[in-house]
Amino acid sequence: MRKHFLYSLPFLLGLSTAAQAADDSELVVVTATRTAQPADRTGESVSVVTGEDLKLQQTISVTDALQLTPGAIITRNGGVGQNATVSLRDAEVGQSLVLIDGVRINDPSSVDNQALLGDVLVNNIDRVEILRGPQSTLYGSTAIGGVVNIITRTGGDKPVDLRASAEGGSFDTYRLNAGANGSYDSVDYGGAVNYFSTGGISAADKADGNPETDGYRNVGATGNVRVHVLDNVSVDLRGYYTAARSDVDGYNASFSFGDTPQYNKNSLMAGYAGLNADLFDGRFHNRLGIVGTRTDRKLFGEFDFVPPFPFLDHETFSGKGGTARVEYQGTFDLNDSNQITFGAESQRDTYSSEGFGNFPSPLEQGARRTTSGFGQWQTTLFDQLTLTAGVRYDGDSQFGGHTSLKFAGAWEVPEWGTVIHANYGDGFKAPSLYELFSQYSNPLTNLKPETARGYEVGVKQRFLDDRVSASVTWFSRKTKNQIDFFSCPFSPPFPDGCDVRPFGFYYNIGRTRVQGAEFEIAADLFGNVTASVNLTDMASEDLDLRTDLARRPRVTAGGSLFWTPVEGASLGLTVAHVGDRFDQAGETQPLEGYTLVNILGSYPINENFAFFGRVENLFNDRTQPVFGYGAPGRAAYVGIRAAF
């Protein structure tokens, strides 16, 4: 039944796409080349979720928006605010880079260097660009699966543009949001504050006898200012902050998974200061930036396994990560058809963690410095063929040097409405600081970086005066030196290492292969009706075990259908489908596929105010997203939005 519904979806919604309008021939992106370029000329697979898309879909969490784009798999351990990860084209956790206004928010203190996406809510977002495929030439470590770049709103057509919204609904949920942006004299600015609270559902599935709900609170703020000091010189200041508290479930005194009184507190602070200068009549663009981030994660709970530790609300774990980064980027426009981009970066990452539970861990600390340089050349021939080539070198204090290459091409035939693109890209991921310096570090040899090579080729075609756009992309990626964990208690093949690390250690062994195809179609239909659907068919294989990768569905799909009869009024639905998969490596613990359908609407009261509302999970699908974890059932929310 689910498969029949899935393959009927493109016809039900009027063909398929990513979350954008069909007429995207002038869509400009910055993530693919680190400069503003028409998307069709980059040779890359990139999707854009605009601020208007987020408004129409009434999106709360960025992960919900990503789930509607091709090639993105979201895994969340329960309801909103629980641990959430993104996998682009079936890359492992921590192999996809997440940026906010160009600042990396991947957490150096996490096991896999993953971003804390569960706490990234929609707040003053102008657009989200999702770049798929290995991207280490421009972005260095972690960009094996691709890059998610969240770009916030700044500047505007008037001095002050105010926005505010309030909503509430199921699970004792409510949200308050307020923001402003504008331009006045020589200053462009944007900023917002956000508060979100929910009683939540039980993270451990209620159907398994876990009635306790796990609530979540999140406070966030974002701001950016650009001051034009001279006609060709400007200064940027940006900041991002989020603090969250979430109840979590885990293993109790009987060592079974279920309700526990645990909760965690996470915070993220990120700041950027930059100087921009355009020289030689605006042909030579320069940017010098200083970046700093700080993450702080704490877990609280009770010590009840072994007396005499019956303490509630006691800190049981602390993890801190920090990044300090200096970066320079130069872009020189040789002429209208040739552009060179180059730069240098130096980054220092730090990490510390400590456990205070029944099995305490000592204070663990580590640091690394990475110094990098990159260059890229882009040329357009005959006003149709755009070629891009790039190279990067990263020098890492822990594992040495690594070189990455990138080649891309896009052939645009305007009279046919056709674009053909292809690319090759390298990707690599440095071992995380946890893998290098925790009590599970490798006692025998230095870990090597995970490396990948990716290829893709695709074609895009526009029809009916650009009202319909269809594309198909085939891709393949092989990864080697995959880092895995070896558990010593089970038949250790490394007796010397297990003498030093009795509970196990990390080592390089894994090899994986991912290949598949993405199908997208977008359509502006009739009477202000737009339809969008995408479908991704991927096969992900562990080349050592010859089994599917864990939590990687073969088929995923997403789409939307919206009618906007007048400005401010809308009615529509979104659909996200995740296919069957296995929860554990070795094809154990199968998980059923599921389909989530939301219906949404808004109606203007006057030119300043509008009502909006939605029903999430319309058909009450409670299939477990991860083995043992629950999924929110049907829920309804209403709110009011103001703009001045």
Average pLDDT over residues 294-305: 79
Confidence of residue 492 (pLDDT cuts 50, 70, 90): low
pTM of the model: 0.92
pLDDT at 639 (0 to 100): 97
Confidence at residue 619, expressed as pLDDT on a 0 to 100 scale: 97
Please write the tens of the pLDDT for every residue from 241-250. Answer: 999 999 999 8
pLDDT of residue 3: 39
Least confident window among 183-187, 358-362, 430-434, 602-606: 358-362
pLDDT for residue 510 = 82
pLDDT band, residue 305 (cuts 50/70/90): very low
- Residue 12, pLDDT > 70, answer no
Instruction: State yes or no: cis peptide before 261, omega within 30 of 0.
Output: no
Taken in order of first residue, the domains within the chain and their CATH numbers are 2-643 (2.40.170.20)
Segment 84-98, tens digit of pLDDT: 999 999 999 899 999
Instruction: Give tens-digit pLDDT for 138-167.
Output: 999 999 999 999 999 999 999 999 999 999
- Determine the pLDDT at residue 362: 81
At 312 the pLDDT is: 55
Q: What is the DSSP string of 82-116?
A: S-EEEEETTPPTT-EEEEETTEE-B-TTSTT--B-
Model pLDDT, residue 356: 79
Distance CA 458, CA 149 (A): 22
Q: What is the predicted pLDDT for the residue at 359? A: 63
**Residues with Cβ < 8 Å from 395, sequence gap 6 or more?**
370, 371, 372, 401
**Using 50, 70 and 90 to split pLDDT, how confident is the model at 491?**
low
The owner of tokens 């891009």 is: 388
As a whole-number percent, the residues of the chain with pLDDT over 90 amount to 77
Q: What is the pLDDT of residues 203-241, one digit of tens each?
A: 999 999 999 999 999 999 999 999 999 999 999 999 999
- Output 20 or 300, whichever has higher pLDDT: 300
Rounded Cα–Cα distance for residues 162 and 173 (Å): 24
84's tokens: 């959430």
User: Would strands 263-279 and 257-258 be described as parallel, antiparallel, or unpaired?
Assistant: unpaired
Residue among 264, 297, 265, 321 at smallest CA distance from 107: 321
Name the nearest CA neighbour of 577 among 564, 600, 558, 550: 558
pLDDT-derived band at 490, boundaries 50, 70, 90: low
Q: What is the pLDDT of residue 527?
A: 75
